[in-house]
């Protein structure tokens, strides 16, 4: 998606063109290290299951790593991670299996989200869970449900189940973003591959080694990390206005940025989705004075939500 959603000329054509250049190197290195960390940690959990406390700690660590798989999955579906279509397809599958969503499904869902960001009648994110992704929770109990990842698990499950069956007889979509025809058939078979992967792990856990249950638990926990990140992207912001008015950028430390593939620079990504993840920090430096919602960290943002400070945005002011 190379569309430009920020209508003001904050980046001139030459600068934007330079920022949008795809490169294989950065994503190849990052994805190899990321998948390597996931693989090694998974192997250790399965190979040494006797130490309960160690398994717990490694499972939490693995859940963090798996949650970060949303980054390469998102980039590869956008076709910005690599220069070639084939590498983007490969990367989307390697990360999408762990994220728990078929690439074709996410393409249809996510591109509609870009076109109608934070529109309560067209954005599939807030249409699915308006109480979690349109406005911030008003109670600590509601926030705990958000922080537990429940809405994201329900979303993944709902779209997966929806596309495990062929198109309805009338051929009409049940959601505005739902693909039909050839695209629907693609989503159909891809969804069955996702189910096959996870069912296969369950079968292995039951019949071969119970230690695989730790890996499945890590996937469940990963949704909590993912939702803490993704809820910070638009929740509590205006439902109309410029794209920068409807999207939030979160300043975070290098550790979070590394695992999150710079998706904390989300306003920049929504304004110019053709910019690859590794160029988002550079884009941020060029436009940060024009960002309407620039906040100082995920912890500070969610602390404001818990204490109902600075509502409805809950934005945490940037120090200095």
Beta bridge partners of 294: 249
Is 82 within the bounds of a domain? yes
What is the rounded distance in angstroms from the CA atom of residue 305 to the CA atom of residue 80? 33
Is 320 within the bounds of a domain? no
Is 107 within the bounds of a domain? yes
Contact 241, 227 (CB under 8 A): no
Exposure string for 234-253, b = 16+ CB within 10 A, e = fewer: bbbbebeebbbbbbbbbbbe
244: left (phi over 0), alpha (psi -120 to 50) or beta: alpha
Is 52 within the bounds of a domain? yes
User: For the chain, what is the domain count?
Assistant: 1
What is the pTM assigned to this prediction? 0.91
Nearest CA-CA partner of 291 in 242, 244, 243, 238:
244
What is the rounded distance in angstroms from the CA atom of residue 269 to the CA atom of residue 247? 9
Dihedral, CA of residue 168, residue 171, residue 172 and residue 177, to nearest 10? 90
The predicted pLDDT at position 158 comes to 84
The predicted pLDDT at position 131 comes to 67
Compute the Cα dihedral for 23, 27, 32, 33 and give only its sign: positive
The predicted pLDDT at position 174 comes to 56
Q: 107-112, long-range: CB within 8 Å, 24+ apart, which pairs? A: 107/77, 108/177, 108/178, 108/179, 108/183, 108/187, 109/159, 109/177, 110/74, 110/77, 111/1, 112/176, 112/177
- 23-33 pLDDT, tens digit per residue, is 999 999 999 99
Cβ neighbors of 141 (< 8 A, separation 6 or more) are none
Beta bridge partners of 249: 294
Is 5 within the bounds of a domain? no
Q: Which two tokens stand for residue 150?
A: 């429940």
Which residues in the chain come in under a pLDDT of 50? none
Exposure string for 264-287, b = 16+ CB within 10 A, e = fewer: bbbbbbbbbbbbbbbbbeebbeeb
Is 1 within the bounds of a domain? no
Is 271 within the bounds of a domain? yes
Per the structure, the complete domain to which residue 216 belongs is given by 13-307
Contact 291, 280 (CB under 8 A): no
Residues in the chain: 320
- 186-216 pLDDT, tens digit per residue, is 999 999 999 999 999 999 999 999 999 999 9
Is 3 within the bounds of a domain? no
Contact 219, 66 (CB under 8 A): yes
What is the rounded distance in angstroms from the CA atom of residue 193 to the CA atom of residue 209? 22
């Amino acid at each position: 998606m190379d569309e430009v959603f920020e209508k003001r000329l904050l980046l001139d054509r030459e600068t934007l063109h330079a920022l949008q250049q795809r490169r294989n190197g950065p994503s190849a290195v990052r994805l190899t290290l990321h998948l390597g960390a996931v693989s090694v940690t998974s192997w250790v959990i399965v190979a040494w299951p006797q130490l309960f406390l160690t398994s717990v700690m490694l499972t939490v660590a693995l859940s963090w790593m798996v949650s970060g798989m949303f980054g390469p999955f998102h980039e590869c579906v956008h076709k910005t991670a690599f220069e070639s279509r084939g590498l983007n397809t490969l990367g989307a599958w390697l990360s999408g299996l762990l994220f728990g969503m078929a690439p074709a499904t996410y393409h249809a869902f996510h591109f509609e989200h870009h076109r109608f960001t934070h529109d309560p009648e067209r954005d599939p994110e807030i249409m699915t869970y308006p109480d979690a992704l349109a406005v911030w929770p008003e109670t600590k109990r509601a926030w705990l449900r958000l922080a537990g990842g429940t809405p994201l698990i329900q979303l993944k499950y709902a779209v997966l189940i929806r596309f495990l069956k062929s198109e309805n007889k009338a051929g009409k979509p049940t959601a505005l973003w739902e693909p039909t025809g050839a695209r629907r058939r693609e989503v159909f078979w891809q969804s069955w591959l996702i189910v096959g992967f996870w069912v296969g792990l369950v079968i292995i856990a039951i019949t071969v080694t119970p230690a695989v249950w730790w890996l499945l638990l890590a996937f469940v926990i990963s949704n909590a990390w993912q939702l803490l990140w993704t809820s910070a992207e638009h929740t509590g912001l205006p439902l109309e206005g410029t794209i920068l008015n409807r999207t939030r950028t979160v300043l975070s430390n290098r550790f979070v940025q590394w695992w999150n593939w710079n998706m904390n620079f989300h306003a920049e990504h929504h304004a110019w989705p053709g910019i690859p993840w590794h160029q988002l920090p550079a884009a941020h430096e060029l436009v940060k004075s024009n960002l309407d919602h620039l906040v100082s960290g995920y912890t500070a943002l969610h602390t404001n939500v818990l204490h109902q400070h600075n509502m409805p945005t809950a934005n945490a002011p940037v120090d200095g």
